[in-house]
Structure 1
Amino acid sequence: MMKKFVEGPWLYRILALFLALLLFGYVNLDEINTTRQTNNNDTQMLATRTETVKVPLQINADTDRYFITGYPQKVKVKLSGPNALVTSAVNTLNFRVIGDLTKLGPGDHTVKLKQTGINKDIKVTIEPKEIKVHIEHKVTKQFPVQVNVKKENLAAGYSLGNPKLSQDVVEVSGAKSAVNAVSQVVATVDPDEGTKKDINEEVLLQAVDRNGKALNVLISPQTVNVKILVQMSKKTLPISLEKTGEKSGYSYSLSSTTDSVTVYGRQTALAKLTSLPVSVDLSSITSSTSKMVKVALPHNIYESTPSAIKVTITVTPDTTNTSATNTVEAPSESTAQTSSSAPVESSSSNSQSSSQSSSSESSKANTDVNQ
């Protein structure tokens, strides 16, 4: 019986029916989900949505003649309406908020803001609803650019060369009262602490009054390129040769072909120097010679060029001391000669006397013989 059922057509008929039911259920379930999702989307599209966005404020005015101040750059816009329309408006921001000043002249004014480009089915609320503006005649003047560098950030002993600018003069435009109050246009350079490298920066310009307060004006161009050479502070000083350790009995004269040196160091230390002493030690010198002498550096002076100079030393015996010695010895030699010649003269006199006596005795003897 079971074999007949398996081999018969009923098994295949039942399987076919089961597969047909399964396929029917799958198809209908997909349609149900699709219908439900479509209904949800339709519900969302028809739902009300509220969004607040910030948009730029467009000012319509004769900006060639007038300079306007007092208005905000952006305003808040609250949008309420169908979800799809609000979403589109928020994503595209294809609407504008306008302050119309075209019919206004110089002075203070209150202007109501308007919007354009928003679908009429969306409720729009602008905040603020109106703005206050100040209108003045517009003027333009030229000013040189002043460079202000924070020197305290430089490394110790370093100073700045002359700034080189991409543009030395700029135009300042704005309300007549503001432009007339401009004292200078400044490019402020703020180097890193301990800077030793040259400065090469694009710097934003700022117009300030005599008290250093920034003014609301337009500067063209707004930035300039600033290049400044950073180097050690330096000063060229004459040298003065100073003798130390002179030996007695000698006279010294100093000279050098180098008459000045360049020293590098802190600006405050350099400002105090008018010359640079170079000390020459003569304690071991008794004859004319030349020697290299190192340049001693004062406090807060770090280098010198050259670092040593050649000094010619001329040595001569001190003649004043030698003459004094000879004057003392001369009387002693004269006295010695006088003392030794006295006995010689005495001996000669005695010899002469003795000869005369002998001659007298001989003459007397001859007389006696003749008698």
Structure 2
Amino acid sequence: MDNWFRSKWFIRGISLGFAILLYVFVSIEEADTAHESLIPNLFGGSTQVETLPSVPIKILIDSEKYVVSGVPENVSVQLEGTASALTPIVRQQNIELFVDLRDLGEGEHEVEIEYEDVPNQVAVYIEPKTIDVIIEKKASDEVGVTVDFINEDKLPVGYQVGDFELNTDTVTVTSSKEIIDRIAIVKVYVDVGGLTESIKNREIPVNVYDSQGNELAVRVDPATVVISVDIENPSKRVPVSLATSGELPDGYKLISMEPSVDEIEVFAVSDILENLEEITTKPINLSELKKSGTIKVGLAIPDNVLSPDVKEIEVEVELEQTKQLDNIAVEVDNLQEGYIANFIEPNEGQLSITVTGNEQDVRELSAEDFRIYINGNGLEAGRNTVPIEIEGPENVTIETETEEVVIEIEEV
């Protein structure tokens, strides 16, 4: 053994061993101070940092007696350690944060956010580490629920919100007495935009607000209610009336104008239907009417009113027409043989007549459809005033410029 101590290599080996032991000892001390171990680094491990940006906080308190405010829902947590230690925590979010308020009474307190389920070799840094909380005695109140229908202006034309039914009209709100006293509105919102069918048993959350419209963080029981809403499409049968514009052309008179339907069904919200007495047609331009018969006319449907089944109607138009026929020769019947008749008035032996009747009957009439004549039987030579007679269609009225003519009969 004396030979070993005399060997310089033996001495060098002993010195190296003491150096390693000293390094390990110092490293272990530093790791204990920082809640982590660097021993794995001697075998190729390395320290790294991971951040969990949103870790929830559990509140430990008698929740039947107290409510707590000031505790954030989530905080940021930074973890430092080896990859093998951090990986399961980060992947599984396997860290639990809490504030223990069980030994504290009512009032304001500064408390520390604590943690558990973290290995000793992992360092934990919480931001913020301490928070200010307020502990208050719990209070409850039963309040009525109101319903607010949103996007009613986006319902299809003619549709409206009808009756609705909630499975409960009241809810129990629990918080501190100060918060309970601030409650002004407990409301549910129902979006009816674009609906054409009724809502059946829709579950919707309950919202609680103060008088300024700020939402209050309280416990609501039940947290949701079930609503059914009637979406209605009211209708009404109303009479149809005819609208006209302009005047008939000269020579025409309106006998009748009858729509093919007396009334139609229209759809609109109740307030509009209540004041809707009739539906008119679009104006019929009388100046364009020159024939009896059937025309099609569109309906002048008011805004926010629908008539899905009828867009236009037929109108039966009956016109009376007055037509003048000129230069109709007056014939002389039954004049004695050996005599001739010369017309004094009218001097050319022609008359004009005015024919009036249904436009369909008058439309194609001409002078050839009428015969004007006088009866010359028994007339003697000289000047004679003789009444005229007219033959023509029976379904028209005939007027003449004169009812008699003056003729001069001469013997030949």
- How far off its partner does 1:120 sit? 1.5
| Residue in 1 that maps onto 2:111 | 111
Q: What one-letter code is carried by the residue in structure 2 that aligns with 1:102?
A: R
Q: What one-letter code is carried by the residue in structure 2 that aligns with 1:148?
A: D
* Cα distance in structure 1, aligned partners of 2:64 and 2:142: 17
For residues 113 and 211 of structure 1, do their structure 2 counterparts lie closer, same or farther at Cα, with a shift above 3 Å needed? closer
* Cα distance in structure 2, aligned partners of 1:301 and 1:126: 63
- How far off its partner does 1:140 sit? 1.4
- Which residues of 2 match residues 1-371 of structure 1 at below 5 A? 46-53=45-52, 54-150=54-150, 151-192=152-193, 194-200=194-200, 201-233=202-234, 264-270=267-273, 272=275, 299=302, 300-302=304-306
* Cα distance in structure 2, aligned partners of 1:148 and 1:180: 23
* Cα distance in structure 2, aligned partners of 1:156 and 1:233: 11
For residues 236 and 75 of structure 1, do their structure 2 counterparts lie closer, same or farther at Cα, with a shift above 3 Å needed? same
TM-score, normalised to structure 1, is: 0.53
* Cα distance in structure 2, aligned partners of 1:156 and 1:277: 17
For residues 235 and 218 of structure 1, do their structure 2 counterparts lie closer, same or farther at Cα, with a shift above 3 Å needed? farther
Q: Structure 1, residues 234-293: CA drift from partner, whole Å, max 9, x if none?
A: 6799x9x9xxxxx9xxxxxxxxxxxxx9974134424546x6799xxxxxxxxxxxxxxx
- Specify every segment of 5 or more residues in structure 1 that has no aligned partner in the other structure, as ranges: 1-40, 242-246, 248-260, 279-295, 305-371
TM-score, normalised to structure 2, is: 0.49
* Cα distance in structure 2, aligned partners of 1:102 and 1:199: 46
Q: Which has the higher helix share?
A: 1
- Given that 1:147 and 1:163 are in contact with CA atoms closer than 8 Å, whether structure 2 keeps it comes out as no
Q: Which has the higher strand share?
A: 2
For residues 93 and 298 of structure 1, do their structure 2 counterparts lie closer, same or farther at Cα, with a shift above 3 Å needed? closer
- Given that 2:173 and 2:218 are in contact with CA atoms closer than 8 Å, whether structure 1 keeps it comes out as yes
> Pairwise CA RMSD of aligned residues?
3.9
- Given that 1:110 and 1:130 are in contact with CA atoms closer than 8 Å, whether structure 2 keeps it comes out as yes
- How far off its partner does 1:125 sit? 0.9
Q: Structure 1, residues 132-156: CA drift from partner, whole Å, max 9, x if none?
A: 2222221112222222112112111
Q: What one-letter code is carried by the residue in structure 1 that aligns with 2:111?
A: V
* Cα distance in structure 1, aligned partners of 2:119 and 2:131: 24
Runs (4+) of structure 1 exceeding 6 A deviation are: 41-45, 275-278
- Given that 2:279 and 2:300 are in contact with CA atoms closer than 8 Å, whether structure 1 keeps it comes out as no
* Cα distance in structure 2, aligned partners of 1:123 and 1:298: 76
Bigger-Rg structure (1/2): 1
* Cα distance in structure 2, aligned partners of 1:132 and 1:114: 14
For residues 191 and 160 of structure 1, do their structure 2 counterparts lie closer, same or farther at Cα, with a shift above 3 Å needed? closer
* Cα distance in structure 1, aligned partners of 2:43 and 2:162: 69
- Specify every segment of 5 or more residues in structure 2 that has no aligned partner in the other structure, as ranges: 1-39, 242-254, 256-263, 281-298, 309-412
- How far off its partner does 1:62 sit? 1.7
For residues 51 and 262 of structure 1, do their structure 2 counterparts lie closer, same or farther at Cα, with a shift above 3 Å needed? same
* Cα distance in structure 1, aligned partners of 2:48 and 2:85: 9
State the percentage of identical aligned residues. Answer: 28
- How far off its partner does 1:217 sit? 0.9
- Given that 1:45 and 1:84 are in contact with CA atoms closer than 8 Å, whether structure 2 keeps it comes out as no
Q: What one-letter code is carried by the residue in structure 1 that aligns with 2:88?
A: S
* Cα distance in structure 2, aligned partners of 1:98 and 1:44: 36
Q: What one-letter code is carried by the residue in structure 1 that aligns with 2:84?
A: A
- How far off its partner does 1:44 sit? 7.9
- Given that 1:45 and 1:83 are in contact with CA atoms closer than 8 Å, whether structure 2 keeps it comes out as no
Q: What one-letter code is carried by the residue in structure 2 that aligns with 1:100?
A: D
Q: What one-letter code is carried by the residue in structure 1 that aligns with 2:217?
A: N
- Given that 2:187 and 2:207 are in contact with CA atoms closer than 8 Å, whether structure 1 keeps it comes out as yes
- How far off its partner does 1:228 sit? 0.8
SS of the residue aligned with 1:163? strand
* Cα distance in structure 1, aligned partners of 2:237 and 2:132: 62
